[in-house]
Amino acid sequence: MPAPTFVISPEQSELFGRISGDRNPIHYASDIAARSSFGRPIVHGIHTVLAALEACCDAVGPRFARPVSVSLKLPQPFFTGEAATVETVTGAGKTRLKVTVEGVTVATIALADTESAPERDIRPDKALTPPAAQPKQRDPADFADVRGALNLVCDGDPDELFPRLSKVCDPALLRSLMRLSTVVGMEWPGQDSLFSGATLWIGPAFGVDDGVHYKVTSFDPRFNRTEIDVVAPHLNARMEAFFRPRMVAPPRLDRAIGLVGRGSFGGHQSLIIGGSNGLGAAAAVVLAAGGGRPVITYRSDRQGAVAIASMIRAGNGECDIVSCDVRNPRDLERIFEEFAPDSLMYFATPRIFRRSRHGFSPDLYREFHAFYVDAFMGCIDAALARRRSPLAVLYPSTVAIDAPVDGLSEYVAAKLAGEAVCAGLARASDHLSVLIERLPRILTAQTNSIIQAPAGDAVETMVATLDKFIAKTAPRSPLQGAASA
């Protein structure tokens, strides 16, 4: 018999958020999720777990007829629209579910009979409250004082999402399980949370009657890891969560001005492909700080592009923004009809860091190749078709080519292919000069992970890179120099 599969749609994810009360925007707001290390909205962890149990309800349903302990682990993010497969292994008093996406484990659920549950030091004396409208912004240092109680009045019925589980679980238990998501996503750690696992003890004698009472029991600053104890109807739980690092702040013009010689880049108009956030945004700000005129393109993050351009204009600089999907030739034609830049900086990229996996994924390589090679070539072709004057190109690459990093093989292979293309283009055209710069790991939304690795500063890195790029590859013409003096 084939293993059960399930898909969670954005609408189901939204519904889970409404019923559970976990309205943390990381689960539905594309623009906010795009600036996180996940790059797009993630499914609530408890939603993944309950959807897996629902998919295997024939096998696991009978377990809920007696007291059961459930160990949950959520090692990797799971996204809406993805097809998950649930493998079930039963034996020695245990049932184990492994939820995988393309062979990568996104959740494990181990169920076993149990006689008792641990004692919890939670006084259920707090008045019950509904979930907050917005996730709380918490200071980890406050962990010792954080406790609370949520009611079980849900905006909707869990059986809309989990009809089969609803038949084998007590209704208050199902609501309590969904509220666990709310405890983490809205209460503690709240706004910057990542729910990573829990151990649950489920049985009529294990909980309290009225609502979901929680208490934060630990915070480990080495890992930003926290534990929360919960008692609720039919439920006793210890949950594990992390504080996600705060979103990386956009580059600041005043800081760039302090690092760049005034007028260093005067007279230069540069088209910055992918300039609404990350390194592209830093390049735009640095160029403007030196008197240059960036034109930044964005694919989906218009808000980010507007914010960067507004900051530059507020500092008396010039900056244009234009929407562009580099994979669309018509977008590229339109841009080069409108603008005639002296130089082009190519920062278009998909998400770089993906789920941990073994081996090389040809599909992932093709995804990177589409940006770093195909779309890049399309961009250069479109530029050269409309100009006879020289064009300088900055192609950011990676030091991971020289010092391999686990899990980045596909990314590195595509960047290497891009470097080869750059070298070929520069040889073939008298109008083109290309600077390939192998950049180190730099702190951006892409690299802002829970376990922080050393990372450079985007503005400082771009100051050094643009100094090299503009000075050596795109020197000002005497006329431009005179005009900007």
Partner 1 sequence: MLQNQDHILQRLTAVFRDVLDLDDLELKLTTTANDVEGWDSLAHVRLMVATEQEFKVRLTTVEVSSLKNVGELVSAIAEKTTAKAS
In 3D, which of 254, 297, 252 has the Cα closest to residue 272?
Answer: 297
Q: Which positions from 432 through 451 interact with partner 1, judged by CB under 8 A? A: 449-451
Q: Binder to partner 1 among 73, 138, 354, 415 (CB under 8 A)?
A: 73
SS3 of residue 235 by DSSP: strand
Query: Quick check: 388 binds partner 1 (CB under 8 A)?
Result: no
SS3 of residue 385 by DSSP: coil
Query: Quick check: 134 binds partner 1 (CB under 8 A)?
Result: no
Cα four-point dihedral sign 202, 204, 205, 207: positive
Structure tokens at 370: 């589409």
* Shortest Cβ 373–partner 1 spacing (Å): 28
Structure tokens at 228: 């929360």
Between 156 and 221, whose beta carbon lies closer to partner 1?
A: 221
Q: Binder to partner 1 among 113, 155, 220, 338 (CB under 8 A)?
A: 220
Query: Quick check: 108 binds partner 1 (CB under 8 A)?
Result: yes
Site string for partner 1, 341-360 (x = CB under 8 A): ---------------x-x--
Contact between 32 and 1 (Cβ < 8 Å)? no
Query: Quick check: 403 binds partner 1 (CB under 8 A)?
Result: no
* Shortest Cβ 351–partner 1 spacing (Å): 16
Between 97 and 273, whose beta carbon lies closer to partner 1?
A: 97
Count of residues binding partner 1 (CB under 8 A)? Answer: 22
* Shortest Cβ 356–partner 1 spacing (Å): 4
Q: Between the CA of residue 330 and those of 327, 346, 391, what are the distances in Å?
A: 9, 18, 20
* Identity of residue 483: A
Output the CA torsion 456→458→463→465 (10° steps).
80
Which residues, listed in sequence order, are joined to residue 439 by a DSSP beta bridge? 398
Query: Quick check: 75 binds partner 1 (CB under 8 A)?
Result: yes
Query: Quick check: 105 binds partner 1 (CB under 8 A)?
Result: yes
* Shortest Cβ 438–partner 1 spacing (Å): 24
Contact between 29 and 56 (Cβ < 8 Å)? no
Structure tokens at 367: 């995804």
Q: Which positions from 357 through 376 interact with partner 1, judged by CB under 8 A? A: 358
* Shortest Cβ 401–partner 1 spacing (Å): 20
Q: Between the CA of residue 42 and those of 10, 102, 156, 194, 450, what are the distances in Å?
A: 10, 16, 21, 10, 15
Between 111 and 345, whose beta carbon lies closer to partner 1?
A: 111
Calpha distance 224→439 (Å, rounded): 28
Helix (H) or strand (E) holding 230: strand 225-232
Query: Quick check: 140 binds partner 1 (CB under 8 A)?
Result: no
| Residues within the interface to partner 1 (CB under 8 A) | 73, 75-76, 96, 98, 105, 108, 110, 196-197, 220, 222-223, 225, 240, 242, 356, 358, 406, 449-451
